[in-house]
């Protein structure tokens, strides 16, 4: 069964540095998402992406964040200048029209 | 406001006992409700969606619009059911709104 894949599984970055989290959604899916889960808290929506543009973004998704689909397979989340509070598990998800979302394994981002 | 509430952080039961994981929601329109499960160190996996009305791994969940609830039930818990369970709501914009999750611990 096809899966959403995310790399890296764990990213350690110095505060203030840029980080790019990568996702490969399932190939025939058209809707893409990023969520994050701070340790001990619930999974929170960050952004949704469809037809090569952002459909919706949350209050968390400020100017430090951006998403891109640079080619036909990858979907990336970039954090320009990381802060300590960006430390979290970041999940990518994708789905077809009307179908449930499928999640990747997540990337654990640790900001030092 | 769109909100999902899972009142129990931890539910501990013995093997063979019935399980009910509670989920209540707040949404002004007609939401779609899901249960996702996360086994230790694994990804979030879809367990159930309310519109399919099926039973997966012995679990069922019925949407009660009057009580705005979508409780997850299983008549006889198994040790392999031990996991984190998240209730989620999908509204008109497709994003998922999650509850805080309930850790189900099934004791032998």
Q: In angstroms, what separates the C-alpha of A110 from chain B's closest C-alpha?
A: 17
Lowest mean pLDDT among A22-31, A58-67, B39-48, B95-104: B39-48
Residues of A in contact with B95 (CB under 8 A): 33, 45, 48, 56
Q: pLDDT tens digits for A11-62?
A: 999 999 999 999 999 998 999 999 999 988 889 999 999 988 999 999 999 9
Residues of A in contact with B101 (CB under 8 A): 42-43
Between the two ends of chain B, the Cα-to-Cα distance in Å is 40
Higher pLDDT, B92 or A20: A20
d(CA A72, CA B7): 41
- Which residues from A are below 8 Å from B when comparing CB atoms? 3-4, 31, 33, 35, 41-45, 48, 55-56, 91, 93, 95, 100-106
β partners of residue B97: B89
Q: Which helix (H) or strand (E) holds B72?
A: strand B72-74
Whether B21 has a pLDDT exceeding 90, the answer reads yes
> What order do you get walking across the sheet with B19-21 strand by strand?
B19-21, B72-74, B60-61
User: What is the pLDDT averaged over residues A81-92?
Assistant: 96
d(CA B16, CA B107): 9
d(CA A35, CA A90): 6
Q: What is the mean pLDDT of chain B?
A: 93
| Closest by Cα among B59, B55, B54 to B21 | B59
pLDDT of res. B32: 92
Whether B1 has a pLDDT exceeding 90, the answer reads no
């Amino acid at each position: 069964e096809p899966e959403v894949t995310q790399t890296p599984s764990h990213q350690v970055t110095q505060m203030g540095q840029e980080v790019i989290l990568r996702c490969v959604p399932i190939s025939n899916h058209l809707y893409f998402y990023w969520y994050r889960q701070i340790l001990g808290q619930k999974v929170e929506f960050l952004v949704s992406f469809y037809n090569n543009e952002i459909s919706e973004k949350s209050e968390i998704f400020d100017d430090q964040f951006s998403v891109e689909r640079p080619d036909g397979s990858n979907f990336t989340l970039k954090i320009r200048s990381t802060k300590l509070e960006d430390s979290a598990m970041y999940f990518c998800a994708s789905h077809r029209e009307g179908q449930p979302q499928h999640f990747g394994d997540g990337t654990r981002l640790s900001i030092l | 406001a769109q909100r999902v509430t899972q009142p129990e952080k931890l539910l501990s039961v013995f093997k063979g006992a019935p399980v009910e994981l509670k989920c209540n929601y707040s949404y002004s329109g007609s939401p779609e409700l899901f249960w996702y499960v996360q086994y230790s160190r694994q990804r979030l996996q879809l367990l159930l969606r309310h519109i399919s009305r099926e039973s997966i791994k012995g679990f069922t969940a019925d949407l009660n619009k009057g009580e705005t609830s979508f409780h997850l039930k299983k008549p006889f818990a198994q040790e392999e059911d031990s996991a984190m369970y998240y209730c989620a709501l999908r509204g008109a914009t497709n994003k998922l709104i999650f509850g805080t999750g309930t850790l189900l611990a099934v004791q032998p």
